[in-house]
Structure 1
Amino acid sequence: MNPPRGLVVLTDRWQARRPLPEVVAAAVAGGARCVVLREKDLPRAERAGLAGELRPILAEVGGELIVAGPDPLGGDAVHLPAAGPYPPPRLGLVGRSCHDAAELGRLTTEDYVTLSPVFPTPSKPGYGPPLGVDGLAGLVRLSPVPVLALGGISTPAQVAAALRAGAAGVAVLGAVMRAGDPAEAAAGLLRGCAAGARR
């Protein structure tokens, strides 16, 4: 599997305005091709059931479902927290959350990382001040693998700035989950990807 690029949508059913499969289907209709299933508070059976609902939505367009945490829930792609496990499991696609140079320095066989928070975000307080575009650019230069910018990204202009800083793409949560029209939200963010790629 190839590392994700462009727009990656993170799920949060508590913020979603409609049932999660409907929001994901709308985001896919808007052009999203990669989704990270979070929902880590659910029992494994329920979470696996949700993964089973989302995978076909993405498979229809050649997309990919990545599962947050070390258990791929029947798939072959996971996104791990900075804290571990180390070494990462051997799967088709493995990503990891990073926030600074020290965490990037612990990478081994991961295929991509998220770097956060790039901008101020209510979803992930506690990770220190935002990196900003310049901080993101500095860490992108240190990363041995492609980087997805994460945190507070909600506009096409922010997406374009992240790509111009060297990110391979962006990961967003609230911008799609809270959107009245997730399809249009995804399409708008992808326009930002296209603008950033023309740097």
Structure 2
Amino acid sequence: MKKGEQSKNHLIVCAAKLFWRSGYHATGISEILKEAALPKGSFYFYFKSKKDIAAACITYYEQTVTATLQEFANNTAWDVFIKKIYDYMIDAARDGSHYGCPFAVVGIELAMAEPEIAQHYAAALKRLKNVFTAVIMNSGISEETAVKVADILFTMYEGRLLLFRISGDCQQFEKMRQDLQDIFKLLTTAIGK
């Protein structure tokens, strides 16, 4: 990777971290540059505006979050997948490096101010839900049922992450783990395999 590409990627990583932690509107370009330890001209060499870097952050979030969930999902049944998510998130929350779902945190904030960018965040969430569908299918559930169940469970997952973001209460992760296991059992029993 060339130095210019490294600088651009570094700006994206720093912006993504700040937008996730502090919010899009609360993060200024000067803060991104300070976090990246780059001069002001660096930003405008790669991006026309903060809106442009927010759009670039979608790809970064999707790559990192999806890669993590894919790693947890690899040939895994639902209960093991949820345990891995829980362990990962609770550890990050306890050390102060988890702020909820980056797609939801940034996407919600951009929904009204930048709807065209928010649409990309929504699309990324749909692709992330596909990981849930695949894990449910790994658990012996038919694709048709898995799609229905994944929609409900992914909504619960995102809801608990939002509650954690708002409250800072790590108990939301334990509640998420328990809800996702219990509701999976109920739904797959009620809907069938």
Question: If the length of structure 1 is used for normalisation, what is the TM-score?
Answer: 0.29
Higher helix content, 1 or 2: 2
* Higher RCO (C-alpha 8 Å, min separation 6): 1
Which structure has the bigger radius of gyration?
Answer: 2
Higher strand content, 1 or 2: 1
